[in-house]
A and B are shown apart, each in its own frame.
Chain A
């Protein structure tokens, strides 16, 4: 699996959009970009994934650059409950779960 690079930490004001970047310059053609988060004392939680098109669901939006070498996870209106570590993972489709989660970005939502 391709490696990813994320900032160690970020702050975001409550109610504002949180934009979390991820670099994955070695991504290959059959690999997807997945985002998970881990809220303190819980297991990782799937958020969203995409191949090359932008994606949106009830939790977040995912913007993938045209060259697929980077992406941004957007939480449109961050709440205090969004404080967590966010992991960007590059892997084959959902059936493939043999992954390492990396160090992620610690997002702190500030009141």
Chain B
């Protein structure tokens, strides 16, 4: 069974540019989560999808961040325009709805804004 896959693994962009991160959850997992660790800080929750619907987006830092999950499969997280403080590692995780298990995490995308 393939795990949670994130693309790209690394991204370096200039301040003001746009970046889109992608997450492919484990097949069949309705729940998809985004987290991030900005430099020197803790890993924090950003938002939660159930299928294509946003269940909880209370952790999204501001309106420069837009997450989508069209069709309830893969998800994208767009940062527009990127700022220096957005640098960090963005993690995606997924879990099924039909079993009481913990989420499975992807390897993360390291974003560097210069």
List residues of A whose CB falls within 8 A of some B CB: 34, 41-46, 49, 93-95, 97-103
CB pair A46–B42 under 8 Å, yes or no, is no
CB pair A101–B102 under 8 Å, yes or no, is no
Do A93 and B58 contact each other (CB < 8 Å), given the known contacts A99-B45, A100-B44, A103-B42? no
How many residue pairs at the A-B interface have CB separations less than 8 Å? 52
Tell me if B's interface is mostly helix, strand, loop or mixed. Answer: strand
Residues of B within 8 A of A94 (CB): 95, 100-102
**Bound CA–CA A43/B6 (angstroms):** 10
CB pair A44–B100 under 8 Å, yes or no, is no
**Which 3 pairs, one residue from A and one from B, show the smallest C-beta to C-beta distance?**
A43-B105, A101-B43, A46-B102
* Choice from A34, A41, A97, A103 contacting B93 with Cβ under 8 Å: A97
Q: Mark B91-106, 1 if CB is under 8 A from A, else 0.
A: 1010100001111111
**Highest count of chain B CB atoms <10 Å: which of A42, A98, A100:** A98
Tell me if A's interface is mostly helix, strand, loop or mixed. Answer: loop
Q: Smallest Cβ distance from A108 to chain B, in angstroms? A: 20
B6 — nearest CB in chain A belongs to which residue? A43
* Choice from A42, A43, A49, A103 contacting B102 with Cβ under 8 Å: A49
Q: Smallest Cβ distance from A30 to chain B, in angstroms? A: 14
CB pair A100–B42 under 8 Å, yes or no, is yes
Q: Cβ of B59 < 8 Å from any Cβ of A? A: yes
CB pair A34–B102 under 8 Å, yes or no, is yes
Residues of A within 8 A of B91 (CB): 43-44
CB pair A97–B107 under 8 Å, yes or no, is no
Do A98 and B95 contact each other (CB < 8 Å), given the known contacts A43-B105, A46-B102? no
A45 — nearest CB in chain B belongs to which residue? B105
CB pair B100–A93 under 8 Å, yes or no, is yes
Residues of A within 8 A of B59 (CB): 98
